[in-house]
Amino acid sequence: MSTRTKVAVIGSGNIGTDLMIKVLRLSESLEMAAMAGIDPHSDGLARARRLKVATTHKGVEGLVELDEFADVGIVFDATSAGAHRHHEEVLRPLGRTLVDLTPAAIGPYVIPPVNGDAHLDAPNVNMVTCGGQATIPIVAAVSAVTPVHYGEIVASIASRSAGPGTRANIDEFTETTARAIEQVGGAARGKAIIVLNPAEPPLIMRDTVHCLVSECDEEAVTASVETMVGRVQAYVPGYRLKQRVQFDRIAADDPLRALGPAATVGTDALRVSVFLEVEGAAHYLPAYAGNLDIMTSAALRTAERLAAHHTTEAAK
């Protein structure tokens, strides 16, 4: 008898399909039970059928009608923020745990290497955004050493890797990421920017993190960032630093100072800058789509932790 937790994916687009393939190829604790979409001709549903995964093109309503749904414990939502709100209303009364890959942020934010064990009993956890998954670990690494008065991230992704869900949720992306920079990353104030790069051939995801701090131990900050990069690489091998952590002194009249609480920035202000790139594993998506790969990898890691926790609690 299998002891793996059965999961379902809502959304048969790029993210949902990549997530399905990761569950099938990589997970020892999760079992792919069903995929739901709304386009009967989508490549994701076709691939699921070829892989002997139960499917429906009738969305969440069709999912709950599948016989396979009866044993599903965790549902991934890889659709859009607006759709997720409806999915949550349908699934919450049925007692399923939701792992939300949209910026809806109904449940608490989860960044696996930062607070992956903090919300194991939550019925709905939110994976923030691709930019958040790539950069918030860095903000948290800096804030573990010294207070971060202001954290700003810029996520640059290939235009080709931004599907209709991403494009429809640009506002939610920036708002959700900024809040998570504060709530999970530990910055007093956060800001997020996304850039859709139309370059051909497509460029892989690149991220810039700026943290406004007071005088600090630069070696300790660098070591903390490098350690955090290693923790992310454990489940996203293509995640890496582009260069050493940079420290720049902020002039007394620099307007950047105004972005942090004036009483705490002090006279010896520094800007800590970290430059990253994220190459995808190319399980389903092209390697340049690191933005999508880091989301599905983080969701997989989170679901595996949830499954282990649920199994432990059930055995008590």
pLDDT in tens, 27-62: 999 999 999 999 999 999 999 999 999 999 999 999
Distance CA(27)–CA(3), nearest Å, equals 12
Query: In which residue ranges of the chain is pLDDT below 50?
Result: 1, 262-263
**If you search the block for the tokens 């960044």, which residue do you land on?**
111
Question: 108, 30, 21: which is closest to 75 by C-alpha?
Answer: 30
CATH code for the domain of 47: 3.40.50.720
Distance CA(163)–CA(17), nearest Å, equals 13
Q: Are residues 261 and 300 in the same domain?
A: no
Q: What is the pLDDT of residues 235-281, one digit of tens each?
A: 999 999 999 999 998 876 676 666 665 445 566 789 999 999 999 99
Q: Is-contact 282 111, C-beta < 8 A?
A: no
Q: Are residues 243 and 98 in the same domain?
A: no
User: What's the total number of domains in the chain?
Assistant: 2
E strand spans, 107-245: 124-126, 148-158, 190-197, 205-213, 239-241
Is 168 annotated as a binding-site member? yes
Is 115 annotated as a binding-site member? no
Strands 270-278 and 246-249 come out as antiparallel
Is 291 annotated as a binding-site member? yes
Report pTM.
0.94
Q: Are residues 121 and 258 in the same domain?
A: no
130 is catalytic: yes
Q: Are residues 23 and 120 in the same domain?
A: yes
Q: Are residues 136 and 277 in the same domain?
A: yes
Q: Are residues 202 and 113 in the same domain?
A: no
Is 13 annotated as a binding-site member? yes
Among 130, 181, 212, 281, which one carries the catalytic annotation?
130
Is 126 annotated as a binding-site member? no
Distance CA(258)–CA(313), nearest Å, equals 48
Query: Read out DSSP for 11-71?
Result: --SHHHHHHHHHHHHH-SSEEEEEEE-S-TT-HHHHHHHHTT-EEESSHHHHHHHSGGGGG
Question: 203, 209, 202, 205: which is closest to 225 by C-alpha?
Answer: 209
Is 227 annotated as a binding-site member? no
Residue 260 is predicted with a pLDDT of 60
pLDDT above 70 as % of the chain: 95
Q: Are residues 158 and 256 in the same domain?
A: yes
Domain containing residue 175: 130-288
